[in-house]
Amino acid sequence: MGRGMLKVAVAGASGYMGAELLRLLLNHPSVELAAVTSESYAGQVVGEVFPTFSGLLELRYQKLEPQELASSAEVIFLALPHKTAMAAVAGLYPLGCQIIDLSADFRLKDAAVYERWYGTRHLAPDLLPKAAYGLPELNREAIRDTRLVASPGCYPTGAILGLAPLMRTGVIDPNSIVIDAISGASGAGRKMELYLHFSELNENVKAYSIARHRHTPEIEQQLSLLAGQEVRVTFTPHLAPLTRGLLSTISCHLSEGQDAADLLQLFRDFYKGEPFIRILPAGRVPETKVVLGSNFCDIGLAVDERTGRVIVITAIDNLVKGGSGQAVQAMNVMCGFDEGSGLLGPGLFP
């Protein structure tokens, strides 16, 4: 693009997702961190709140003031809670900056659906049509042409990437989809809740929000667009004693007698050239440990010939490809950078 260093800001930079954004942006060759906000830690240096950044980032947290933030940065990441981000977007969007929102506030296109699942009135329904769903593998052109990206979280990312080739080609019964997903505890954010205490979480795996998880309509919306018809899914999230990682196991009925080799080739063709999608060979299954700290989504599958179902498994790091890494990937698309800039590299192992 022939531009200098891009000035970026991170609002809500004292949570897990915000801190992950700081880690990734510090290593981006074309980015300068210009401002960070936190209502709880305003006035404190980032390295005092997160010692991992000591000596690396001397910015002080400030309170979120839209005019001040927009004058400091060209691109603003919002790592704010659901139901909070929409007010910030409403204040920032008229100021001309590019916004990447990591909350769910602009992912659903129908304000009534949002209000039903999130239990609150949407404060900026006029901006919903302007928001591009921030999954680059499926929506790259829309991301490139917008000033507002609604960046998806970990559960929708793992499910949609695992199902997209099947939905687009119509090789499955779209009414037979069952998604079971297991997330690490960092997906719940940096809050003090009883169920996140070590003695509650350790050596324990449990399902929650059964048949009512609020990311369900988001998954259904995107799958319906891919299938060209209304799709309903059974989605059950689980919490496991992991810090990071998300494993999704997806099963659905095949409409014809495709075998695993055919379906693997379908996935390879669909994701050909995608820098962060890795289709595993037959007999290998994704693992959260392998993608830890990376922006990769690993996908594997098998066919149960006895039941006529395909089982697709995806693994991502919930804070990277399921959150901050995906948001940085969207920024790269928006700003004309190489899509892998600041993101390519192996995960952490062991």
Q: Which helix (H) or strand (E) holds 34?
A: strand 31-37
Bridge partners of 300, per DSSP, are: 313
Instruction: Please report, in angstroms and rounded to a whole number, the separation of the first and last CA atoms in the chain.
Output: 38
d(CA 247, CA 178): 14
CA Rg value for the chain? 20
Of the candidates 154, 252, 297, 335, the residue annotated as catalytic is: 154
Is 154 among the catalytic positions?
A: yes
Q: Residue 45: what residue type?
A: V
Which residues contact residue 334 at a Cβ distance below 8 angstroms, ignoring those fewer than 6 apart? Answer: 75, 98, 100, 143, 144, 146, 149
> Vertex 305, ends 302 and 308: CA angle to 5°?
95
d(CA 211, CA 234): 7
Q: Which helix (H) or strand (E) holds 190?
A: none
Residue numbers annotated as active site:
154
